[in-house]
Amino acid sequence: MARANPAVVDGGFSNFTTQDVAGTKAAVVAGAGAGAGAAAGAGAAAGAANDNAGNQDAAAQANQCAGAAAQADDAADDAADEADDEAEDNNAGANAGVQQSSIAGLDFGKCVPTIDFVLGRPGRDADEGTFLPVDPLVAQGQQEALNVNIIINRVCDQLTNVCDANQAAKDACDQAQADAAALPAKDPATGDFFNQALGFA
């Protein structure tokens, strides 16, 4: 059966007839346009649904990626915290048994930053006194000296180099060095003064 232009029929013009080449006439069938329109509408709706589903999938994937990144950051933070705690525990274990300063807040780490004045060290005359750090870790590689400032300077340097002392202890050492510079250079009292200034009798 012949069909007319769907737009014309669907617009309300339904009394048309068609005629083929042989002269045969036929009534125009309405509804073809409506069917095509419905099909097109259904296709558009399906496309929109597919788009929405795709957008939801993309959003879900983005959320999953963001969640994974956050979990990775949390895991990294936890690992860093555990490493810091372990380092502190190791330092505490390494410093166990080390004589501590009597002055609150001064932490000299693994060292006891005292010096002594001794007469007749090896290679010296019996009546010749020299200064030297008492702690072997502090004194490592250091020769005794007649000048107390050389030895005190060594002690203060070692607080940073090998002792793991805190900043308050380093500041106290610098101050004690400056104060000791005004005392007699070759006197056991100079060593005692420096030691007491750092909290060691």
124 in any annotated domain: yes
> pLDDT by residue (tens digit) across 139-156?
999 999 999 999 999 999
Which of 29-33, 50-54, 158-162 bottoms out in mean pLDDT, i.e. has the lowest? 29-33
Q: How far apart are CA 35 and CA 23, in angstroms?
A: 28
176 in any annotated domain: yes
pLDDT of residue 61: 66
Choose from 5-14, 28-37, 144-153 the range with maximum mean pLDDT.
Answer: 144-153
191 in any annotated domain: yes
Strand 25-27 versus strand 17-19 pairing type = antiparallel
Q: Is the pLDDT of residue 68 over 70?
A: no
CA torsion, ordered 145, 150, 155, 159, to nearest 10 deg? -150
- Binning pLDDT at 50, 70 and 90, where does residue 81 land? low
pTM score > 0.85 for this model?
Answer: no
In sequence order, the β-bridge partners of residue 145 are 131
Q: Nearest-CA neighbor of 107 among 159, 165, 158, 157?
A: 165
In sequence order, the β-bridge partners of residue 118 are 130
81 in any annotated domain: no
- Binning pLDDT at 50, 70 and 90, where does residue 41 land? very low
The single-letter code of the amino acid at 118 is: V
131 in any annotated domain: yes
91 in any annotated domain: no
In the chain, the number of structural domains is 1
Report the 10 Å Cβ neighbour count for 5: 13
163 in any annotated domain: yes
51 in any annotated domain: no
Q: How far apart are CA 191 and CA 201, in angstroms?
A: 11
Q: Which residue has the higher pLDDT, 172 or 93?
A: 172
- Calculate the average pLDDT of the chain: 75
Domain that holds residue 145: 115-197
